[in-house]
Amino acid sequence: MIDSWNEKAVRVHRRLLVTGGAGFIGSNFVLYWCDTYPDDRVVVLDALTYAGNRRNLADVEGRENFRFVEGDICDRTLLDKLLQEENIDTVAHFAAESHVDRSILGPGAFVQTNVVGTFTLLEAFRQHWKTPLSKQEGIFLHVSTDEVYGSLGPNDPAFTETTPYAPNSPYSASKAGSDHLVRAYYHTYGLPTIITNCSNNYGPYQFPEKLIPLMCINALIGKNLPVYGDGQNVRDWLYVIDHCRALDVVIHRGKPGETYNVGGNNEVKNIDLVQTLCELMDKLATDLPVRPCSNLITFVKDRQGHDRRYAINSNKLKTKLDWSPSVTVEEGLRLTVEWYLNNRDWWEPLLSEEYQTYYRQVYVS
C-alpha cells in the first residue's frame, strides 16, 4: 500500500475494522482517524459491555464511511462476514477486558476476551488475508499494554521492546498471552502483524473505574478519593490523543513483525497525580461539595500483586518512525479535568448500581 509518509506518493484509502471501538482508547482512535482520514472506511465492532459506550462515537455516527456493528470478537461467523463484505485491509484491535481490579475479582472473562477473542480474530484475518485483494495491503495492529513486562524497581531502566515478559495480574497475563499469539501468527503464517505496548492512557471518554476519571468524578460528587497503599506507585502517563498519533504512524510506517512501545515520558507517583488533580479541581470547578479536594484523599488497602513502577522507553518509535508525545502531563491533566467538568451528562449515567457494587468490593473494607 502506498502510504502518506512518502510525500511524492498518493495515499491509498484504507478499510479498517476497529475492535473495541466504543471503548476509551478505541473510540478516541476512531474519532481521530475519521477526522484525519475522512475518506477511509471505518467499521467498529464492539460488544458494548459495561465499558463500551456507543455515545462515544456520536460525532461520527451517520457518516457515509462509518459503520457500527454490535458484536463479540469471539463470534467467528460474524468476523468472517465483516471482513469479507467490507473488504477489510486493516485491523486495529483494541477490544479487551482491561482493568486489573476486575481481573482479580473475575479472571475468566479476561482469558475469554483477551486470549480466545484475539485468537479468533487472528484466525479470521488469516483466512481473509489469503484472498488476493487483501493480502498485499493487510495489517493487523494489536494494541497492548506495558503491564505485560511486570514491575520495575526505583532505579531500573524503562521497559524496552526486548524486556522479558513478567505479568503479575490476571489482566496482564491475558494480554501477554494475546501478544504471544499475535507474534506467533507473524512468524508461523507470515501474517502482517504489529504489536504496540502503551503506558497508562488518560483523557476523554474513560470509564470511571480508572484512576484519573475516578478521582475527577468522586471530587465532583464529594466522595472519598481512594489511593492504594502508600500512594508511591509510579506510572508513565500518556495522553490518549498522543497514543492515537502513535498508532497512526505505526499503521502507515510500522514494520510487520515488530513491536513498538508507546510512552508519555511522564513518570508520576500516584499520590502526586491525585494531588495535582485536586489542585486542578479546586481551580476549575465552581461547585465542589468539599474544598479543598485534598481533604477527600483516603488511603485504602493495597491492591493484590500491585506493580510498583512502570516506565516506557519509546526510543524505537522516535528513531524509526519519528514519533514523540506532544502533550505534557500538566497540559493533558488540565484538558482531562475540563472534559469531565463539561460532560457530566456523559459520566453520570455510568454510576449505576452495578458500578456501585463493584466500587464497594474494591474500595470499601
With beta carbons less than 8 A apart as the criterion, state whether 233 and 271 touch: no
Do 350 and 207 form a contact (C-beta atoms < 8 A)?
yes
Give exposure, 93-124, as e/b (b: 16+ Cβ within 10 Å).
Answer: bbbbbbbbbbbbeebeebbebbbbbbbbbbbb
Positive or negative CA dihedral for 43, 207, 32, 324?
Answer: negative
Dihedral sign for Cα atoms in the order 218, 219, 223, 227: positive
How do the domains of the chain map onto residue ranges?
15-206+239-266+308-328
Q: Tell me, what's the pLDDT at 10?
A: 62
User: Is 50 exceeded by the pLDDT of residue 28?
Assistant: yes
Rounded to whole angstroms, the Cα distance separating 273 from 362 reads 20
Q: Flag whether pLDDT at 11 surpasses 80.
A: no
Phi-psi region of 151 (alpha: psi -120 to 50; beta: other; left: phi over 0): beta
Q: How far is residue 30's CA from residue 45's CA, in Å, rounded to a whole number? A: 11
The continuous run of DSSP H or E covering 180 comes out as helix 170-189
Q: What is the pLDDT of residues 213-253, one digit of tens each?
A: 999 999 999 999 999 999 999 999 999 999 999 999 999 99
Is the peptide bond prior to 38 cis by the omega test (within 30 degrees of 0)? no
Residue 86 binned pLDDT confidence (cut-offs 50, 70, 90): very high
Q: How many CA atoms lie within 13 A of 256 on its CB side?
A: 18
pLDDT in tens, 247-280: 999 999 999 999 999 999 999 999 999 999 999 9
Looking at the DSSP assignment, which residues form a beta bridge with residue 66? 42
- Statement: residue 132 has pLDDT above 70: no
pLDDT in tens, 148-201: 999 999 999 999 999 999 999 999 999 999 999 999 999 999 999 999 999 999
Residue 115 has pLDDT above 60, yes or no: yes
Residues in the chain, overall count: 365
pLDDT at residue 3, rounded to an integer: 45
Measured CA to CA, the distance from residue 293 to residue 198 in angstroms comes to 30
Q: Is the CB of residue 261 less than 8 Å from the CB of residue 314?
A: yes
Q: Average of pLDDT values for 297-322?
A: 94
Tell me the pLDDT band of 1, cut-offs 50, 70 and 90.
very low
Q: What is the pLDDT of residue 80?
A: 97
Q: What percent of the chain has pLDDT over 90?
A: 85
**What is residue 304's predicted lDDT score, i.e. its pLDDT?**
87
Average of per-residue pLDDT values in the chain:
93
Mean pLDDT of the 96-114 span: 88
* CATH of region 15-206+239-266+308-328, choose from 3.40.50.720, 1.20.1090.10, 3.40.50.2300, 3.40.1280.10: 3.40.50.720
Whole-angstrom distance, CA of residue 341 vs CA of residue 336: 9
Q: Where are the alpha helices (DSSP H) in 143-169?
A: none
pLDDT band at 63 (very low <50, low <70, confident <90, very high): very high
Q: What is the mean pLDDT of residues 282-291?
A: 95
- Segment 103-120 shows an average pLDDT of 93
User: Can you say whether residue 336 is alpha, beta or left, with left for phi > 0 and alpha for psi between -120 and 50 degrees?
Assistant: alpha
Checking if the pLDDT of 321 tops 80, the result is yes
In the DSSP assignment, the letter for residue 89 is -
Confidence (pTM): 0.94
Residues marked as catalytic: 146-147, 171
